[in-house]
């Protein structure tokens, strides 16, 4: 077992039973013209974490540990996109509309791709999810069970939406979860920090948090 200096107390994990989960590091959320920007968000906070996420991915690759990437995206006919989801808010472009990177959040379109520095390598797991949580309407549970995974290290965007939802889903299924603090972000920094506090409150009620440097020191 490896022990990480984490909050609210040390996080221990078995690398043979651990997977990195990189949530939705997609062009539609991180690049100009994508869905994130059409909602009126400032992209700077999420763009800032790209090098750290890439470094975390690189660390797992060096060790040969399991890596799973998710992409929030929908079928071209939007049959897996609830009308309420598409209609909510007042974005300049809605899910399925044509944007500068193809149709917004539609599988196979350029905007649904993961940004270059964080792009999956051959052999890494890529899961397209129609919801915020990674277990909803996907085969993530079966993938993790088949590999004997018990510990999950999380990164990605956005902290308070898809990352937190996926962590809470994982927690309910018995996984021990660690969120890398500087490898996750929100368009609203205050939301990120509030989420970190919620996750590790009450004795790690959802999971643990730690910076990348602490994780790297633990595995060195």
Closest CA to 110 of 26, 175, 50: 26
Helix (H, G, I), strand (E, B) or coil at 26: strand
Structure tokens at 126: 């890529």
129 is catalytic: yes
Q: Which of 28, 81, 118, 129 is catalytic?
A: 129
CB burial string 93-132: b at 16+ within 10 A, e below: bbbbeebebbbbbbeebebbbbbeebebeeebbeebbbbb
Q: Which of 24, 28, 81, 118 is catalytic?
A: 24
CB 35 within 8 A of CB 105: yes
162 is catalytic: yes
Side-chain half-sphere of 158: how many Cα atoms within 13 Å?
22
Q: Which of 28, 162, 177, 192 is catalytic?
A: 162
Catalytic residues: 24, 129, 162
């Amino acid at each position: 077992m490896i022990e990480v200096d984490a909050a609210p107390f040390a996080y221990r994990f078995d690398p043979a039973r651990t997977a990195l989960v990189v949530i939705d590091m997609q062009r539609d959320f991180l690049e100009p013209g994508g869905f994130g920007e059409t909602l009126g968000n400032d992209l700077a906070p999420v763009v800032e974490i790209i090098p750290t996420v890439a470094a975390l991915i690189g660390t797992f690759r060096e060790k040969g540990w399991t890596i799973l990437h998710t992409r929030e995206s929908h079928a071209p006919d939007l049959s897996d996109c609830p009308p309420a989801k598409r209609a909510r808010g007042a974005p300049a472009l809605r899910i399925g509309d044509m944007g500068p990177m193809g149709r917004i959040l539609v599988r196979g379109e350029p905007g649904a791709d993961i940004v270059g520095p964080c792009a999956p390598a051959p052999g890494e797991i890529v899961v397209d999810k129609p919801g915020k949580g990674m277990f909803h309407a996907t085969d993530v549970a079966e993938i993790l069970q088949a590999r004997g995974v018990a510990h999950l290290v999380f990164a990605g965007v956005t902290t308070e939406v898809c990352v937190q939802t996926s962590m809470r889903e994982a927690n309910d299924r018995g996984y021990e979860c660690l969120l890398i603090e500087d490898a996750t972000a929100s368009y609203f920094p205050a939301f990120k920090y509030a989420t970190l506090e919620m996750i590790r409150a009450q004795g790690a009620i959802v999971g643990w948090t730690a910076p990348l440097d602490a994780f790297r020191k633990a595995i060195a």
